[in-house]
A and B are shown apart, each in its own frame.
Chain A
Amino acid sequence: MDRKWWGALGVTIALSAALSGCGGDDSSGTAADTSSDSATAGATDTSSSAAPANEGDWAKAQSAEDGGGMDALVAAAQQEGTLNVIALPPDWANYGAIIDAFKAKYNITVNSENPDGSSSDEITALKSTVGQSTAPDVVDIGNSYALQGAQDGLFAPYQVATWADIPDGQKDEGGLWFSDYGGYISIGCNAATVKTCPTTIADLDNPDYKGLVALNGDPTQSNSAFQAVWALALANGGSADDIQPGIDFVKKLNGEGIFNKTEVTPATIASGATPIVLDWDYLNAGETDALKKEGVDWQVADPTDGLVSAYYSQAISLNAPHPAAARLWEEFLYSHDADGGQNGWLKGYARPIELVAMQADGTADPDALAKIPPVNDTDPFVPTQDQTTKAQQVVAENWSAAVS
């Protein structure tokens, strides 16, 4: 062992660090490219410009009219012929059927990549596949990621035809992201194995349920588990500023042996390894259908003492390899048609963002509407982004200790 050895190791590492540091940071601005030829005035409201500013250029079009009209959009999308989506499991809010409907209606191939990917994976994919033909065209991500992605310049601005039906506060003003569907945290229960199914959170604290109650994942990694902890907090005196009661409640359940740490999968639900699961109501309700075929009676209840809902967000990639198909997909998802995306999600037991508007103009599918788990949410729980971030930090720090 001599100086040469250390020198070589040091040089190798230093060289690599220097090389990587060269391109690593960016202290100037965003990734946007201000196009020099878009001189339209009144740019904050593109939907009412007289002449389409980006006719034919679907990568830059900010609405269907902006690019030359819906028919032109359909034609351009069909010419592209393909759409890349990511992290859309077929049994998540009925995405399987929605994708099939899109394929059938427009004759466009849909590549569904990494269906079990997380929101982070989607953002990583957007960053690491620039220029690839397999890059995702659109993403469906958690709200924190949508906000961050917008800041990082990953999305293209676009306003769907039914833009006005999306409530303010649930969409980015410039159209960089927009909420799509959501649900409430619910308690799913295997009625065959469990004699009396719990319907409220307070019910969970019952020695009869020893080893039976599980969250869908770890709350520092799974959005539904995180929101479930918040629901537990609300039921135990917590608030948007205080998620600790939820963590304490889990600690209590863990101490009493009620909490089950097994990873929840369709297999564990079917086999009875996880008889009580806290998860989104649309996911639990989706399980009910699938499990009926296997002879399992899976009941779903939205707990009245802890009503927490959250919406996911759609966004179009700025570098989408198929920009017209991406925009057509969004139009499809937000159309009020009977076979459109909003009703598709409704049939998947999720609450589409435009539900209020659809109920007003009568386009909501009445059968699907009747089957959604009933909920009486008089005082909606709507934490701000700051409150959410703070709660995430609290959970990140304190969860492990509570369940060890």
Chain B
Amino acid sequence: MAVVSSVAVATDLPPDDSPVRRRRLGRIGDRVVLLLAAIYFFGPLVAAISYTLKDNHGGISFAAYREIFQKPAGAQIGLGSALVYSIEIAVVTILITLLLMVPTQLLLHLRLPRWKGLVEVLTLLPLVFPPIVLVVGISAVYTSVAPTSAGPDAHRSALFNVLKFLREDSHPLLLALVYVVLAMPFVYRAIDAGITSIDTRTLVEAARNLGAGWGTVLLRVIAPCLRTAIVNASFLCFALVMGEYTISSILLYTKPFPVWLVQLPTRSGQVQAAVSVFSLLLVEVVLLLLGLLNRRPNTRKA
């Protein structure tokens, strides 16, 4: 529809090589790309949704989705608790990530450009390993510091106690720490794109010349300019935490939302499909809402 009308317009393009013609062609190209993308991304989703809504008698039934909302007989917690659990982990992950990466990347950009290469390689490394390798590594570390005998009076080293604390089910800091590492490749690029697109050096110099301390520079000068990058990085962390299954399930966390969803006691293929559709749509809606809240006036930086 949109494509057809654009093509109709194209037939009466101005004959010469004017910017108007180029812009119109460009817009057609964009529209085509967007249409193809929509088909590719929505197509399978539609197929899955129609499978989940199928009724035994050929009608539409939301039974598969209803099963997700009611607390299933075998599950320990309900949907709400699982969501809250994961959101808490996500918030902690985001905080640690931002606190760690933003100052580090600023430092790199302003003072240590030669180290950028090393840091970038380090941030790419987590991407190279399948999650199972990381889990086996973590369990190997664990085994090496675990007490060598059983029973409450066995000697437990300080390191073991720290690890044990991090791993607790009620406050799974270990998961947050691992997720920060998993998010690093993407967060690094998002923040790097932000830093390189604003004239950081000048901003910092100007602020310092006017007498600002580093705290003020970071919080009141740089951070607002990096807002898009920081928001992007946060969204990435959030989506990662809400979608990560392998590591948390092998480490036996049953309460995070993705684990809760996949381990929902059900035999029905429809419910299993509904689960994946639901998780996708839910996280997308949440991110959209957050994005709308974060709306800024649509001005391009000069």
Q: Which residues of A approach B to under 8 Å, CB–CB?
A: 1-2, 4-5, 8-9, 12, 20, 23-24, 26, 31-33, 59-60, 86, 90-91, 96, 111-117, 121, 124-125, 127-136, 156, 265-268, 270-271, 290, 318-319
User: Which 6 residue pairs of A and B lie closest in terms of their CB atoms, listed nearest first?
Assistant: A267-B269, A33-B149, A128-B139, A23-B144, A130-B146, A128-B142
Q: Chain A residues near B74 (CB, 8 Å)? A: 90, 96, 112
Q: Chain A residues near B117 (CB, 8 Å)? A: 1, 5
Q: Is B81 an interface residue (CB 8 A)?
A: no
| Structural contact, A132 and B169, CB atoms closer than 8 A | yes
Q: Is B186 an interface residue (CB 8 A)?
A: no
Q: Is B213 an interface residue (CB 8 A)?
A: no
| Structural contact, A265 and B148, CB atoms closer than 8 A | no
- Size of B's binding interface in residues, CB under 8 A: 45
| Structural contact, B149 and A127, CB atoms closer than 8 A | no
Q: Which of B118, B149, B156, B265 contacts A131 (CB 8 A)?
A: B156
Q: Chain B residues near A121 (CB, 8 Å)? A: 250
B133-155 interface mask toward A, CB cutoff 8 Å, 1 = contact, 0 = none? Answer: 00110111111111111110010
Q: A127-B142, A132-B169, A267-B269 are in contact. Are A113 and B254 (CB under 8 A)?
A: yes
| Structural contact, A4 and B114, CB atoms closer than 8 A | yes
Question: Which of chain B's residues has its CB closest to A135's CB?
Answer: B252
Q: Can you list 10 A-B contacts with CB-CB less than 8 angstroms, sorted by A residue number? A: A1-B117, A60-B151, A114-B250, A116-B262, A117-B249, A128-B138, A128-B143, A134-B252, A267-B268, A268-B269
Q: Which of B154, B167, B250, B252 gathers most chain A CB within 10 Å?
A: B252
CA distance A86 to B273 in the complex (A): 24
Question: Which of chain A's residues has its CB closest to B250's CB?
Answer: A121
Q: Which of B122, B150, B250, B267 contacts A290 (CB 8 A)?
A: B267
Q: Chain A residues near B139 (CB, 8 Å)? A: 124, 127-128
Q: Which of B149, B167, B263, B267 contacts A114 (CB 8 A)?
A: B263
Q: A130-B142, A270-B269 are in contact. Are A111 and B135 (CB under 8 A)?
A: no
Q: Which of A12, A60, A132 contacts B167 (CB 8 A)?
A: A132
Q: Which of B115, B136, B142 gathers most chain A CB within 10 Å?
A: B142
CA distance A90 to B266 in the complex (A): 9
| Structural contact, B252 and A114, CB atoms closer than 8 A | yes
Q: Which of B20-57 contact A (CB under 8 A)?
A: none
CA distance A383 to B203 in the complex (A): 74
Question: Which of chain B's residues has its CB closest to A111's CB?
Answer: B76
CA distance A111 to B255 in the complex (A): 12
CB proximity of B169 to chain A, nearest CB, Å: 5
Q: Which of B76, B143, B270 contacts A127 (CB 8 A)?
A: B143
CB proximity of B158 to chain A, nearest CB, Å: 13
Task: For the A-B complex with A20-B141, A290-B267 known, give 8 more contacts whose Cβ atoms are closer than 8 Å.
Answer: A2-B114, A23-B144, A33-B148, A59-B151, A86-B252, A128-B143, A130-B146, A134-B169
Count of A-B residue pairs with CB < 8 Å: 112
Q: Which of A5, A114, A271 contacts B118 (CB 8 A)?
A: A5
CA distance A115 to B76 in the complex (A): 13
Q: Which of B239-268 contact A (CB under 8 A)?
A: 249-252, 254, 262-263, 265, 267-268
Q: Is B208 an interface residue (CB 8 A)?
A: no
| Structural contact, A5 and B146, CB atoms closer than 8 A | no
| Structural contact, A319 and B250, CB atoms closer than 8 A | no
| Structural contact, A132 and B267, CB atoms closer than 8 A | no
Q: Is B121 an interface residue (CB 8 A)?
A: yes
CA distance A1 to B121 in the complex (A): 13
CA distance A369 to B95 in the complex (A): 59
| Structural contact, B263 and A116, CB atoms closer than 8 A | yes
Q: Is B278 an interface residue (CB 8 A)?
A: no
Q: Chain A residues near B115 (CB, 8 Å)? A: 5, 8
| Structural contact, B150 and A131, CB atoms closer than 8 A | no
Q: A112-B74, A125-B250, A129-B252 are in contact. Are A156 and B164 (CB under 8 A)?
A: no
Q: Chain A residues near B270 (CB, 8 Å)? A: 267
| Structural contact, B142 and A266, CB atoms closer than 8 A | no
CB proximity of A92 to chain B, nearest CB, Å: 12
Question: Which of chain A's residues has its CB closest to B145's CB?
Answer: A23
CB proximity of B20 to chain A, nearest CB, Å: 47
Q: Chain B residues near A270 (CB, 8 Å)? A: 269
Q: A5-B117, A132-B164 are in contact. Are A114 and B269 (CB under 8 A)?
A: no
Q: Is B199 an interface residue (CB 8 A)?
A: no
CB proximity of B302 to chain A, nearest CB, Å: 35
Q: Chain A residues near B122 (CB, 8 Å)? A: 12
Q: Which of A24, A113, A266, A271 contacts B267 (CB 8 A)?
A: A266
CB proximity of A387 to chain B, nearest CB, Å: 28
CA distance A127 to B139 in the complex (A): 6
Q: Is B67 an interface residue (CB 8 A)?
A: no
| Structural contact, B269 and A131, CB atoms closer than 8 A | no
Q: Which of B144, B151, B252 contacts A125 (CB 8 A)?
A: B252
CA distance A114 to B265 in the complex (A): 11
| Structural contact, A130 and B114, CB atoms closer than 8 A | no
CA distance A290 to B149 in the complex (A): 45
Q: Is B284 an interface residue (CB 8 A)?
A: no
Question: Which of chain A's residues has its CB closest to B161's CB?
Answer: A131
CA distance A384 to B249 in the complex (A): 33
Q: Which of B140-191 contact A (CB under 8 A)?
A: 140-151, 154, 156, 160, 164, 167-169
| Structural contact, B160 and A131, CB atoms closer than 8 A | yes
Q: Which of A2, A114, A128, A271 gathers most chain B CB within 10 Å?
A: A128
Q: Chain A residues near B272 (CB, 8 Å)? A: 265, 267
| Structural contact, B252 and A113, CB atoms closer than 8 A | yes
Q: Chain A residues near B145 (CB, 8 Å)? A: 23
| Structural contact, B267 and A91, CB atoms closer than 8 A | yes
| Structural contact, B146 and A24, CB atoms closer than 8 A | no
CA distance A258 to B115 in the complex (A): 57
Q: Chain B residues near A124 (CB, 8 Å)? A: 135-136, 139, 250
CA distance A129 to B135 in the complex (A): 12
Question: Which of chain A's residues has its CB closest to B117's CB?
Answer: A5
| Structural contact, A115 and B267, CB atoms closer than 8 A | no
Q: Which of B265-289 contact A (CB under 8 A)?
A: 265, 267-270, 272-273
CA distance A4 to B115 in the complex (A): 9
Question: Which of chain A's residues has its CB closest to B148's CB?
Answer: A31
B86-127 interface mask toward A, CB cutoff 8 Å, 1 = contact, 0 = none? Answer: 000000000000000000000000000011011001100000
Question: Which of chain A's residues has its CB closest to B254's CB?
Answer: A113
CA distance A399 to B115 in the complex (A): 46
CA distance A267 to B276 in the complex (A): 14
CA distance A9 to B273 in the complex (A): 45
